[in-house]
Chain A
Amino acid sequence: MSVAAAARAEWVKIRTLRSTVGALLPVVVVGVGLAHLAGTSMRDARADGPPLDPLFPAFYGLTLAQLGVVVFAVLTIGSEYGTGTIAPALLATPRRGVFYAGKAIAATLAAAAVALVTVPGAFAAAQAALGPKGVGVTAEGVPEALVGAFLFLTLMCPFALGVATMLRSTVRALAILLPVFFLGSQGIANVPALKPVLQYMPDQVAWVIMHLTGPPGDPRFARDYGPWEGVGLLVLWTAAALAGGYLVLRRADV
């Protein structure tokens, strides 16, 4: 019994469910589509308005598109409990850590493939829509932001998988994760009293990585860390969620 065999089994599970396409296809469509819309609207903005960050429209749509990755990740473990397949899964791979690692690897690779299409697609769509106001791939800060956005979209998968494994339920996991990822986009992390804590939540970290916190140079939207520290924070969030999921799964009676 090996992690590789467990991951291959998980890959078969992922590719044989319609819900996989239902969750992941909207990531590409929404991510690229909203980038084009946001780029179009910024191209037509008045010249005397606030300064433009050409990366803002590229990644803005990802804050919504990521929800598809979250739903996909939650379903990969939540549906095992919901449909009772967790028992045959653990009969086939009784070492809980091997099963969990195989699942995390297969799901994360699927999310990475989607991110690999979505992030460059969103960037290209936004820059095409921005026209003369757009930037190229080699412009300052762009390669870093593209890599950061890819890592963010990919890491949301193991993060959500870990949370769902802790909660052992699709519904409970989505009830917690979706508000977390929606509240941030309502700007709650800009409230001065809450910012010192909320700026470290995973969705806010993603905003920093992807140049979304607000017009550059405006202190109201400044954060206490930069994009690379943000990627580090996201890795820590993911590691914590995965570890928590393992601690629950290791001892769970099925």
Chain B
Amino acid sequence: MIEVRDLAKRYGSTVAVDGISFTVRPGAVTGFLGRNGAGKSTTMRMILGLIRPTRGTALVCGRPYRELADPLRRVGALLEARSAHPDRTAYHHLLWLARSNRIPTARVHEVPGMAGREPAAGRRAGGFSLGMAQRLGLAAALLGDPEVLVLDEPMNGLDPDGIRWLRGLLRDYAAQGRTVFVSSHLMGEVAQTADRVIVIDGGRLVADTTVAELTAGGSLEDAFFRLTEGRRE
């Protein structure tokens, strides 16, 4: 469960997120839609305690992220594809993450996405393609077998096999009663994978509903433009 209440972030005179409230419930895949600069990444980073909100609160598992003990065991997050040190092997990247949250080393060897026992895990992350970097980021998110997933554009760079694998994984996680919150620009992918969608535009919430409801009158893409077009200036 993720609960966002009146969350806002201002940088000087620029308003990145303008007081949004929503709840991401367990047992469903919730898509997070918006243009570049709409405030998706800032919102996710505020939920995860990386960015300090100007006002409002964000709770994960009922608490501010910063107050979670061993947070990787509760929440898995992917923010940037390339967030491993280029000189460090994928295995060692996962290993330090495991140590920080007292996750057994055995889990590093078997984590989905890029298990430590796969040959690729012994290579330095700097040589990875975007798709491999993304798989390493997903492995890092899944390392603690978390009950909440927060993923920013996780499909980026994945090949068709990777996309199919990830779609199945997100559906499975939701079916197990976990909370899955995924931002994406790929409307078709969201329509196929998500149960609910939250749409933001210009830092404000414009929709928080089910995919079925939004696509009743056409495609999700049409609905997205209908929702956000009126706000273009």
Contacts and interface: CB of A to CB of B under 8 A. Distances in A.
Given A5-B101, A13-B88, A91-B71, 11 more contacts: A1-B68, A1-B100, A9-B100, A16-B88, A83-B86, A87-B50, A88-B97, A90-B49, A92-B97, A94-B66, A94-B71
Interface in A190-242: none
A142 B69 CA distance: 48
Contacts of A87: 50, 79-80, 83
B52 A253 contact: yes
Nearest to B100: A9
Contacts of A89: 100
18 contacts: A1-B70, A5-B70, A5-B100, A6-B100, A8-B100, A12-B99, A16-B96, A84-B83, A88-B83, A88-B84, A90-B50, A91-B50, A91-B75, A91-B79, A92-B72, A94-B65, A253-B45, A254-B45
B106 to A, nearest CB: 16
Interface in B33-53: 45, 48-52
A84 B79 CA distance: 10
Interface string B51-66: 1100000000000011
Interface residues of A, number: 29
Contacts, number: 88
Interface of B: 45, 48-52, 65-66, 68-72, 75, 77, 79-80, 82-89, 92, 95-97, 99-102, 140
A40 interface: no
A17 interface: yes
Interface of A: 1, 5-6, 8-13, 16-19, 79, 83-85, 87-95, 251, 253-254
